[in-house]
């Protein structure tokens, strides 16, 4: 299990700090605020508007605290959107840690959050009538996808911490995992990352970031003309 500490961010929500990588899982300016802007608004809301009524397949790089999965599950229920969610995590956090996180404000959301963390690894589990999740324990480098995805949440630690996860070969892997018209969203807007994304074929959109971050990236896999 990953050795982590729980920290309080400026919007009142928790984040985790990895003692292995000496890095926080979310922005210290606000964990929930960051996830809502980078992944829910730039990812799910955008894709749903472009593809109303579609069953959405999401891949998350870095299941981590489970925050992005919880917000996605809530989105699926609130908007009556069917969603299959796959998250990969090399260093799962322990039960005593995730049970201490404050991402739920009522019994219903607490039940959802606990279900996401309690379900078995490496098997698909039904969390709600609209939401299925499969948590993969392992590293992205060795992940072999058996289906294509509509959205990728790329939430790895920053390039300065895990540079191997931001290189061109990994961006190519993300491109290959997406359906045509699919998108990848990430908080990281470094020039090297943009160049790698463009080189493998993505169209890049720079969007306003959350508090304390000037911009974020939405990368789109173009639809081929047939």
Closest CA to 116 of 95, 92, 133, 140: 133
Residue 120 in any domain: the answer is yes
Give me the CATH number covering residue 87.
3.40.50.150
Show the tokens assigned to 82: 């069917």
Residue 4 in any domain: the answer is no
Residue 38 in any domain: the answer is yes
Residue 145 in any domain: the answer is yes
**pLDDT, tens only, 80-136:** 999 999 999 999 999 999 999 999 989 999 999 999 999 999 999 999 999 999 999
Residue 24 in any domain: the answer is no
Average pLDDT over residues 29-53: 97
Residue 93 in any domain: the answer is yes
Q: How many domains does the chain have?
A: 1
What distance in Å separates the CA atoms of residue 60 and residue 1, rounded to the nearest whole number? 19
Q: What's the order of all strands across the beta sheet hosting 14-18?
A: 4-8, 14-18, 23-24
Show the tokens assigned to 220: 């789109």
pTM: 0.97
Q: What pLDDT is attached to residue 66?
A: 97
Residue 76 in any domain: the answer is yes
Residue 197 in any domain: the answer is yes
Average pLDDT over residues 181-196: 97
Residue 114 lies in domain: 31-220
Q: What pLDDT is attached to residue 53?
A: 95
**pLDDT, tens only, 151-172:** 999 999 999 999 999 999 999 9
| 159-181 residues labelled b (16+ CB within 10 A) or e (exposed) | beeeeebbeeebbbebbebbeee
**DSSP-assigned letters across all residues of the chain:** ---EEEEE-TTS-EEEEETTTTEESS-TT-HHHHHIIIIIIIIIIHHHHHSTTPPEEEEEE--TTSHHHHHHHHHHHHTT--EEEEEEESSPPPHHHHTT----SSHHHHHHHHHHHHSPBTSEEEEETTEEEEEEES-GGG---SS-EEEEEE-PPPTTT-GGGSSHHHHHHHHHHEEEEEEEEES---HHHHHHHHHHT-EEEEEE-STT-SEEEEEE-PPPP-
Closest CA to 90 of 189, 192, 26, 1: 1
User: pLDDT class for 226, splitting at 50, 70, 90?
Assistant: low
Q: What pLDDT is attached to residue 224?
A: 82
């Amino acid at each position: 299990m990953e050795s982590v500490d729980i920290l309080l961010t400026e919007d009142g929500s928790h984040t985790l700090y990895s003692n292995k990588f000496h890095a926080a899982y979310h922005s210290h300016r606000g964990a929930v605020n960051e996830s809502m802007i980078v992944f829910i608004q730039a990812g799910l809301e955008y894709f749903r508007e472009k593809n109303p009524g579609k069953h959405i397949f999401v891949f998350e790089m870095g299941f981590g605290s489970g925050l992005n999965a919880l917000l996605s599950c809530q989105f699926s229920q609130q908007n009556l959107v069917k969603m299959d969610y796959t998250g990969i995590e090399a260093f799962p956090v322990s039960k005593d840690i995730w049970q201490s996180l404050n991402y739920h404000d009522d019994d219903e959301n607490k039940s959802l959050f606990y279900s996401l963390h309690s379900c078995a690894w490496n098997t698909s589990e039904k969390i709600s009538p609209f939401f299925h999740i499969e948590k993969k324990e392992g590293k992205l480098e060795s992940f072999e996808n058996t289906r294509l995805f509509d959205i990728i949440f790329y939430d790895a630690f920053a390039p300065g911490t895990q540079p191997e996860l931001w290189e061109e070969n990994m961006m190519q892997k993300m491109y290959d995992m997406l359906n045509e018209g699919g998108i990848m969203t990430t908080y990281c807007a470094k020039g090297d990352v943009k160049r790698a994304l463009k080189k493998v074929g993505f169209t890049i959109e720079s969007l306003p970031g959350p508090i304390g971050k000037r911009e974020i990236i939405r990368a789109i896999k173009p639809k081929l003309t047939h």
